[in-house]
Amino acid sequence: MRKISRRAVLLLGGALTLTALTGCWPSGISSSEQTKNAVKTALKAAVEQNEDSYNLVENKALSVKARAILEAYLQEVEDENTDVYDPLTVTEVYQRELTVGGDNFGTLVFSMPENAVDPQAWKKAANVLVANFLYYYQYNGNTVEYCVEIVKQEAADGQGEAADYMVIFAKKHDGEEGGEIWTPPAL
């Protein structure tokens, strides 16, 4: 059996430590990026299977609003107006429309499942989102502008553990008189 030099062991240990500290997997993609990609893959598959097809257009620039949207949403949860959904067991959703920075967003927040990087973990949630949520934010015929973001939220009292939430929100485009933009009324 071949011996590994002490230097090789130290280099390997350093690489593994760096991987753990940065949250990056050997592929170079962070676990949070892999999780967001899993959600997007599940959403794309759900749209393809849905008979009321529409285009999902991701707007990554909206991600800067994700923390403020989550905080407003969690206030709604605290006021018992909505829930944080479990993507593995969700069967129906009730979107909350939140105003952040002058824009309205239909928003849903999910807890993170154990195997969040697997698109199958998001399949049920994606089917519910596509059929019963994102549809209401169509504009210009069949386009939905959405964003998927993971936000870490510290416990309000500073004593509890931080939690990761998957925040999925769609921008509401209100129609203008004589304009081409149309948003179906939310139920």
- The values of phi and psi at residue 46, to 5°, are -65, -40
The answer to whether the beta carbons of residues 108 and 133 sit under 8 Å apart is yes
C-alpha to C-alpha distances, 117 to 25, 73, 168, nearest whole angstrom = 12, 24, 16
Asked if residue 123 is part of any domain, the answer here is yes
How far is the C-alpha of 38 from the C-alpha of 25, rounded, in Å? 15
Let me know if residue 3 belongs to a domain. no
Dist. CA 187–CA 171, nearest whole Å: 16
- 184 CB-near residues (< 8 Å, 6+ apart): 135, 136, 138
Give pLDDT, residue 180: 52
Residue 116 lies in a domain: yes
Residue 182 covered by a domain = no
pLDDT at 161: 66
Cα–Cα distance, 40 to 185 (Å, whole number):
25
Q: What is the pTM of this model?
A: 0.75
What pLDDT shows up at residue 159? 61
Please list the residues that pair with 182 across neighbouring strands.
Answer: none
Give kind and range of the element (H or E) at residue 43: helix 31-49
For 171, phi then psi, to 5°, come to -80, 135
pLDDT given at position 147: 95
- Residue ranges in the chain whose pLDDT is less than 50: 1-4, 6-26, 176-179, 186-187
First-to-final CA distance of the chain: 69
Domain count, the chain: 1
Range of the domain at 102: 31-171
